[in-house]
Structure 1
């Protein structure tokens, strides 16, 4: 079935709503309070506490955070990625979507797939809190996109938490992709497998680790043949199954929270994948903190793969 037509994201309404909250991103991607004198981002950073009422503070934060997805989508598109609506055959307003570069993947020499964690994050995000409190580069997947492009990867950015649409006054589950596992498997069956990539790498954060293990279990032959590197960042995973343990131990590594310097070995169990320090003690920071090591790991794995051919 043909893919739904591509559309571009208009993030101006989200930026306007952000401005109504008194905030804007500066040129470095840092969220700052707008200076009333200039109407431009000033020096002050985001402040969670706007009142003595804890509920009011959280409501304000969530409403502001709701503007982040559209802004990140627009930045993905600005960086050359295109939106594909899923499930195929549904109108966009009733569909979810993923991002890729090129728009239609086909026989990628190197394909990098990014899988975010659970909760409120959508395509292109690792951690909303870092986007809001630090910068777009800290909490989004944009640094991974840019580095992958430099190294010649095609890209697929998943969107497994995007499972509902607000229609006729209520949230409706998007049939076929109504749960993160179903969403990810739909993308795998209908986009990844038909594109027949030559070589695939995955970066998966937090619950994205669980989703990746689920894919390994269901599409093990494809993984053995095509997926040469899996980089987890503080992943939610159990020990690998006996049937795929040797494979996962050969291609995967998990960068976990630790006080130790980046890449310090944390554990190397005979029953699990290798775990090394992400160079940070906070879960949400691991993807940003470990990016250089992760790309080095993937490139080394790719070189090994090419040398075996």
Structure 2
């Protein structure tokens, strides 16, 4: 009787630099092939999805490292803050971190909160936007830069970095084994956001707070609204959402629903003209088209509109108003001309 010899699983090794994969990061933030100037090619080996997924993960990890480096470097200067707050990074106990600008907790003026969607590393909007479009606006680097120019301090939450294995907090559980633990006191995106609120956001001195969210981040924010409405009512001036997954049915009370109606605006993936109002009553706030049916590009394509909405709510931007008197005068003139024409026709007959 012959025993079948099991083949030892081959461990895949990939380059440890973006350049090693054959790509460069241009000055404008585009990640392009050195060979043909094209964006990242997922199908490196046709019809071998498992290999291509491993290769992409290794590549996107390097992109994530670069994003974190740029956020922490000048002029943005974000600092890591460990969560849970009692964790010791020098030990083997699980820990993760959020990013804050140096004066985020002490400024009495302006503060921006950034909450991403699912399956992304801290400081990122979507992986696809970073690879296909641009590293700067596909991550939170662009909006953090715009915030700094407008005098904001910023806190970046990390609701996905809650799976601890191989000595590191990661944004998704492992694909090949189940040997992981959840980050203590941060066992889910909503729990993480609640923890960060209790430990940090609730203690800020800023009187003018705004937020930007993507996907599930919008749901997390509405849960905070339910739990801490007085804080939102007194301090939060505007929330710009992208493809939010929250529901007005889960908002507790008419007072909170009224607040959302007047303080929140959502941009949603749609191939309608960008900025065109969308009929969607589920969210309890107005929703506008992103101009692109792919949700991965909602933030990157609408970032200027989202920032302008916040600027407007903060009084930094005044939309052009049409003079009603001029319109009325033009209407009256048109009516008068139409009436004269009718009189002229009658006279002729």
Is the pair's TM-score, using the shorter chain for normalization, greater than 0.5?
A: yes
8 Å CA contact 2:103, 2:153 repeated in 1: no
Q: 1:233 to 1:155 in 2, by over 3 A?
A: same
- Give SS of 1:66's match: helix
Aligned to 1:156: 155
Aligned partner of 1:71 among 56, 62, 66? 66
Q: Distance in 1 between matches of 2:271 and 2:38?
A: 30
What do residues 114-156 of structure 1 show as CA deviations (whole Å, max 9, x unaligned)? 100011x122100011112222024111110111111111111
Q: Residue 183 of structure 1 corresponds to which residue in structure 2?
A: 192
CA 168–296 in structure 1, closer or farther in 2 if over 3 Å, else same: closer
Cα distance, 1:24 vs structure 2: 3.0
Paired residue for 2:308? 296
TM-aligned CA deviation for residue 15 of structure 1: 8.8
Helix, strand or coil at the partner of 2:193: helix
Pairwise CA distance, 1:28: 2.2
Cα distance per residue 1:7-50 (max 9 Å; x no partner) = xxxxxxx9943333333322222222345xxxxxx734321111
Is the CA contact 1:165–1:171 (under 8 Å) kept in the aligned structure 2?
yes
1:80 aligned to 77, 80, 83, which one? 77
Per-residue deviation, 1:245: 0.5
Paired residues, what number? 284
Quote the residue 1:282 is aligned against. Answer: 294
4+ runs deviating over 4 angstroms = 167-170, 268-271
Tell me the equivalent position of 2:268. 256
C-alpha distance after superposition, 1:174-209 (max 9, x if no partner): 211121111111111111111232111010001111
Per-residue deviation, 1:66: 2.3
Q: 1:168 to 1:148 in 2, by over 3 A?
A: closer
TM-score by length of 1: 0.85
Of the three residues 244, 253, 258, the one matched with 1:242 is: 253
- What residue is the counterpart of 2:51 in the other structure? 56
Name the SS of the counterpart of 2:80 in structure 1.
strand
Q: C-alpha separation between the residues in 1 aligned to 2:189 and 2:283?
A: 27
Task: Go from structure 1 to structure 2 and tell me whether the alpha carbon gap of 1:196 and 1:208 turns closer, same or farther (over 3 Å shift).
Answer: same
Which of 73, 89, 102 matches 2:86? 89
Report the secondary structure of 1:165's partner residue. strand
3-state DSSP class of the match of 1:45?
Answer: coil
CA distance in 2, matches of 1:30, 1:149: 22
Q: Deviation of residue 103 (structure 1)?
A: 5.2
Cα distance in 2, alignment partners of residues 285 and 108 from structure 1: 34
Aligned to 1:3: none
- 8 Å CA contact retained: 1:101, 1:156: yes
Match of residue 210, structure 1, among 196, 208, 219: 219
**1:112 and 1:156 in contact (8 A); partners too:** yes
- Taking only aligned residues, the RMSD between alpha carbons, in angstroms, comes to 2.3
Deviation of the 1:292 alpha carbon: 1.3
Contact 2:129/2:135 (CA < 8 Å) preserved in 1? yes
Tell me the alpha carbon deviations over residues 72-114 of structure 1, each in whole angstroms, 9 at most, x when there is no partner.
1111011221111111121126311111112552144111101
Q: 1:167 and 1:91, CA in 2 relative to 1: closer, same or farther beyond 3 A?
A: farther
User: Where in structure 2 are the equivalents of 1:106-125 lying within 5 Å?
Assistant: 106-119=106-119, 121-125=120-124
Counterpart CA distance in 1 for 2:15 and 2:51 is 22
Give the drift of 1:284: 1.1
Deviation at 1:268, TM superposition (A): 6.7
TM-score by length of 2: 0.75
Q: Does 1:272 align with 2:284?
A: yes
In structure 2, what is the equivalent of residue 136 of structure 1? 135
For 1:173 and 1:20, the matched residues in 2 are separated by 33
Q: Quick one: distance in 2 between partners of 1:70 and 1:227?
A: 31
State whether structure 2 residue 199 is matched by structure 1 residue 200: no
Indicate if the aligned counterparts of 1:126 and 1:287 stay in contact, CA closer than 8 A: yes
For residues 126 and 43 of structure 1, the distance between their equivalents in structure 2, rounded to whole angstroms, comes to 23
Deviation at 1:63, TM superposition (A): 2.1
